[in-house]
Structure 1
Amino acid sequence: MTASLTPETVALSSPSSKLRIKDILATLPRECFQKDRKKAWATVATSIAMVGLGYWAIAVSPWFLLPVAWAFTGTALTGFFVIAHDCGHRSFAKRKWVNDWVGHIFMAPLIYPFHCWRLLHDKHHNHTNKMDVDNAWQPFRPELYDSMNLGQQVGYRFMRGRFWWIGSILHWALVHFRLENYNPRDHKKVKVSIAVVVAFAAIAFPTLILTTGVWGFVKFWLLPWMVYHFWMSTFTIVHHTLPDIQFREPEEWDEAQAQLFGTVHCEYPGWVEFLCHHINVHIPHHLSTAIPSYNLRMAHESLQQTWGSQLQEHRFSWRLMQQITDICHLYHPDYAYQSFKDHDESK
């Protein structure tokens, strides 16, 4: 295939064909890649307004409406992360310093160090679904799982099962604050980002506790933060995990196949899509991180015209999460995944 590939000729290809990312991108409208300052800052205004509305709701709601207020506020805070996510990919603004400042500001309330996340997240994009290299929801090899102690096995079972929603919290706590996870040349940036969130926590948390008490800290920060991590865990596991999406050994891995056919487009309820700036229109984002979040739907509609039913498209539901958490446990070279039940019975 050549760079002059057209949607009509690509549509005749099958997922087993040899594709190149640049050929797929050539089928997308050029407008998909264009940054729009007004649209970018409109997402900022929207998220600030919605988070503010959420905290107002928490402050005035009677106890029986607090769960609704927490769900709304935590989801709106996920929109903060999506803005920083665009900044991390340099698709928010043309100037690097603007991306860095906005990214730090919007991740600070989430206690997420911006450069730490950005550097590790880039690795996920460069090696999506590549076994032993991808760092996002990679399934453990059975032999690695068997070598773990009981406590580690139980923890892994929880994270890959019905407690998938704690996965993002564990990833945040265990990975992002360790200097050894980063190239020495990036240590200065990493330290700056860690310092930003430590400073935010050192000021905001004591102030919140002194003015509203421990319950105020739980009510206004901890529970919305946990809702945010629920969506982070859910979004990220669904993005690349289904019983028929295969992680590949490095020597067999193909970039275009992984990004186009190993990435899931999932439709969530409209209010979630709105508050989270449509980040779950995820296939075009994995083809090019240069596409801003507000252009993802335009890009996806173009991919639908070209690839149709070959794309992984689903609607969020409890049934979908059951399918993932009941089956997608351990790596299998032929059948994508082996469930814990099948693994235990095979021993």
Structure 2
Amino acid sequence: MATLFLSECGLRPLPVLHAQPRTSAISSHKPPKFGFLNKTNKRVSLDLRLKARKWELKVSAPSRVSTDEEGAEGTVKELAQFDPGAPPPFTLADIRAAIPKHCWVKDPWKSMSYVVRDVVVVLGLAVVAAYANSLIVWPLYWAAQGTMFWALFVLGHDCGHGSFSNNPKLNSVAGHLLHSSILVPYHGWRISHRTHHQNHGHVENDESWHPLPEKIFKSLDNATKILRFTIPFPMLAYPFYLWSRSPGKSGSHFDPNSDLFVANERKDVITSTVCWTAMAALLVGLGFVMGPIQLLKLYGIPYMLFVMWLDLVTYLHHHGHEDKLPWYRGQEWSYLRGGLTTLDRDYGLINNIHHDIGTHVIHHLFPQIPHYHLIEATEAAKPVLGRYYREPKKSKPLPFHLIGELIKSMKKDHFVSDTGDIVYYQTDPNLSGSSTSK
């Protein structure tokens, strides 16, 4: 049973210890005779057939019995041999083949039903909060509405991947309405996010929360380092990223001439920038109608909480695991190896609200799978992934445990080496408060 268990986990089973069977007293062969030498060096034989049936055991015993401690130590040694940076013993096609065919089917009616659900909740929350106008209700509204803005973002994100439907026009219209409503340039972000997926796990080419090479990290002034690695500042980074990207890179998601885009994508970027500008103008008009304070309470604060959700989720899907995970360069990088460094996260009750985006590994490898099939696809793929899949920690109803994961990562995941094709995060002791680098 232990051998079967280990083999299912992808580990080399422990060697089987074969026992030497005892000779049965009822065997057709004569039992062996044992003897000793007497003083005259003559052998005296002893017949051991006496009453054999009374003491015979019909089991065989191993030549050596290992203790529980020895078995546990052997298992630990086996587990310690796993190298997350090693090429996996399976291919992308192997994972794809394990996923049921219906998981790839996109149902536009089902996708639209989620849009209707979320929009109704967003409008309902706003009406209730404005009507109640209570000091008790407003904080509850901000938390709930900020989460719902994040849910709208995830649906627009699915439109950008084409997992919303097989109709590009429907994806574009729904994506623009969903993303523009929360001040996200749909095509601008869609294209940069596509770059992120195509280069996930690559030090230089990744686009989202990629590590800083040591040279770039050390060139940053202290204020920039504090803003990037000290909570809560990194959780407010998204609007700045849209305008100017990450340190070491330049360009804007609103500029059609940015090096984020190629020539035939510029019209799409202009369209999204126009839609974003129209939404910004609408908010300014609402500010004149209802007053800036009311607009801040109904839209501004929920928007800030949405940004915090976005930064938290996108960061923790690529950082903060208890074991160090590799980043790649050069020929060591591949789409599969980069995707296997992503992490699933459990958000408790929020899982359903934000459309299971925490089921992230399979999403990164196969972004065409609709969000409502991600859980089933992940379960089907786990036997193939083996130890390359890292089971997320179970969350309580609200995922407060992830705040601790975020803080720990921000204290130790600062930069990677300028050289090497497989690198791991290193720690700046001046930022972490530690005297040693990890």
Fold match (TM-score > 0.5): yes
Taking the aligned partners of 1:214 and 1:291, their CA distance within structure 2 comes to 41
Unaligned stretches of 5+ residues in structure 1: 1-8
1:93 offset after TM fit, Å? 1.4
Q: Is the 8 A contact 1:50 1:275 kept in 2?
A: no
Partner of 1:195: 274
Taking the aligned partners of 1:12 and 1:346, their CA distance within structure 2 comes to 35
Partner of 1:5: none
Unaligned stretches of 5+ residues in structure 2: 1-6, 12-81, 245-251, 394-398
Taking the aligned partners of 2:225 and 2:411, their CA distance within structure 1 comes to 16
1:78 offset after TM fit, Å? 1.0
Taking the aligned partners of 1:308 and 1:47, their CA distance within structure 2 comes to 36
Taking the aligned partners of 1:29 and 1:342, their CA distance within structure 2 comes to 49
DSSP-derived class of the 2:331 partner: coil
Q: Which one of 228, 233, 236 corresponds to residue 163 of structure 1? A: 233
1:114 aligns to 2:183 (yes or no): no
Q: Is the 8 A contact 1:58 1:70 kept in 2?
A: no
RMSD of the alignment, in Å?
A: 2.4
1:116 offset after TM fit, Å? 0.3
Taking the aligned partners of 1:199 and 1:346, their CA distance within structure 2 comes to 51
1:268 aligns to 2:347 (yes or no): yes
Q: Which one of 125, 129, 143 corresponds to residue 201 of structure 2? A: 129
Taking the aligned partners of 1:11 and 1:42, their CA distance within structure 2 comes to 39
1:212 aligns to 2:212 (yes or no): no
In our comparison, the structure showing a higher alpha carbon Rg is 2
Partner of 2:74: none
DSSP-derived class of the 2:136 partner: helix
Taking the aligned partners of 1:147 and 1:37, their CA distance within structure 2 comes to 48
The amino acid across from 1:292 in the alignment is P
Q: Is the 8 A contact 2:229 2:410 kept in 1?
A: no
**For residues 163 and 206 of structure 1, do their structure 2 counterparts lie closer, same or farther at Cα, with a shift above 3 Å needed?**
closer
Aligned residues: 334
More displaced, 103-112 or 46-55? 46-55
Normalised by the size of structure 2, how large is the TM-score?
0.71
Q: Percent identity?
A: 24
1:176 aligns to 2:247 (yes or no): no
More displaced, 248-257 or 81-90? 248-257
Taking the aligned partners of 2:292 and 2:160, their CA distance within structure 1 comes to 33
The amino acid across from 2:286 in the alignment is L
1:276-295, aligned counterparts within 5 Å?
276-295=354-373
1:197 offset after TM fit, Å? 0.9
Q: Deviations over 1:22-44 (max 9, x none)?
A: 22111111111011233212211
1:242 aligns to 2:320 (yes or no): yes
Q: Is the 8 A contact 2:165 2:171 kept in 1?
A: yes
1:42-57, aligned counterparts within 5 Å?
42-57=113-128
DSSP-derived class of the 1:330 partner: coil
1:335 offset after TM fit, Å? 6.4
1:61 offset after TM fit, Å? 4.3
Q: Which one of 371, 382, 388 corresponds to residue 304 of structure 1? A: 382
1:82 aligns to 2:154 (yes or no): yes
Partner of 2:216: 144
Taking the aligned partners of 1:83 and 1:290, their CA distance within structure 2 comes to 13
DSSP-derived class of the 2:391 partner: strand
Q: Is the 8 A contact 1:25 1:287 kept in 2?
A: no
Q: Deviations over 1:92-128 (max 9, x none)?
A: 1111111000000101111111110111111111110
1:163 offset after TM fit, Å? 2.6
Partner of 1:326: 411
Q: Deviations over 1:126-151 (max 9, x none)?
A: 11010100011011112112123344
Partner of 1:98: 170
DSSP-derived class of the 2:425 partner: strand
